[in-house]
Amino acid sequence: MTTTSKAHIAVLLTNLFFGINFSLVKLISPTLVGPYALNILRVTGSLILMWSAWFWGRHLSKEKTVAAGIEKKDIGRFAICGLTGVAINQTFFIKGLTITSTIHASLLMLCTPLMITLLAFWILKERITTAKAIGIALGIGGASLLIISKDKGAGTSSWEGDLLIITNAISYTFYFILVKPLMSRYPPQHVIRWVFTFGLLMILPVGAQQFTEIRWEAFQFTHIAALTFIVICGTYLAYSFTIYGIQHLGAGVTGSYIYTQPVFASMVAILFLHEVMTGQKVIAAALIFTGVYLVSLHKRVTYAR
């Protein structure tokens, strides 16, 4: 199998992991683990795996050229990236997901490319074409339709949860722009390790109380398996596979796989959480998908959950 084929499989698996992650989070949170405590478990577990991989990789490497630290001048930017890319982004995502439906959350995550386009226009003064303007309008329309829609029965959504998911997307948008200079000076894995390190320090005070209230005694095998998947597959491997995809396929191709994420998430939610794909959701999904496609015609982005 060629490296390119492996990269395509890795990126597809990344979005499958993200899609499954949506339902598994709802399986254990907030009933057994509070959303903020789950965030601590998720980030801590992934960070241990990241630093362990670096340690053993450096130990086994003959060259040992990759240092562990960062330059003093970059500490502030790493801290801000930890805030926007982990502390706010991950916290709002998990919390929002626990109080809205999986289908709503997965579709609203597609707002990220729309937010990046708007922010690039506002801060970087990038030109907005007619196609991008139409795409933004369609995406906003689809997101608004989702927020005002009402679910009944399983998978009940809430506008509060939907807004938290959108806020998470806005936070990641700032992170996406702020982290670019760091990616040009350090290896991508190095950047993510330190972003997660700073992010963990910021989420510990927020989730400390909930962490002490985790109902470990109520955990069954399925809950342990779900938590293990969230940490290893839904976070560590997903981030690692995304980097692998960018290195061998480029950001454009890797970013295009974001369209598969809500498809996977919706299928899992319908099969296992008994959520319902209503006609209103289908229309909203069509508007958001079309909007993301239009704003990504010339510049695609990647997103890791």
Q: What is the pLDDT of residue 305?
A: 55
**Looking at 19-28, 220-229, 288-297, which range is the least confident one?**
288-297
Written as one letter, the residue type at 49 is L
Name the most confidently modeled range: 62-71, 161-170, 224-233.
224-233
Q: Which of 127, 95, 285 has the alpha carbon at shortest distance from 207?
A: 95
Residue range 100-147, pLDDT digits in tens? 888 888 888 877 777 777 776 776 666 778 888 888 888 888 888 877
Residue 39: pLDDT over 70 = yes
CB 143 within 8 A of CB 108: yes
Chain-wide mean pLDDT for the chain? 85
* Token pair of 23 as six digits: 């339902």
Is residue 215 within 8 A of residue 37, CB to CB? The reply is: no
Predicted pLDDT of residue 183? 85
Q: Is the pLDDT of residue 302 over 60?
A: no
Can you tell me the distance from the alpha carbon of 202 to that of 199, in angstroms, rounded to the nearest whole number?
5
- The domain segmentation of the chain, as residue ranges, is 3-60+72-295
Find the mean pLDDT for residues 5-30: 92
Among the listed ranges 37-51, 119-133, 145-159, 182-196, which one has the minimum average pLDDT value?
145-159
Whether residue 165 has pLDDT greater than 60: yes
For residue 5, the tally of other CB atoms under 10 A from its CB is 10
Euclidean distance between CA atoms 89 and 101, whole angstroms? 18
- Specify whether the CB–CB gap between 200 and 83 falls below 8 A: no
Q: How many other CB atoms are there within 10 angstroms of residue 128's CB atom?
A: 14
Rounded Cα distance between 242 and 254, Å, is: 7
Give the whole-angstrom CA distance, residue 282 versus residue 22.
Answer: 19
Two structure tokens written together for 183: 């990616």
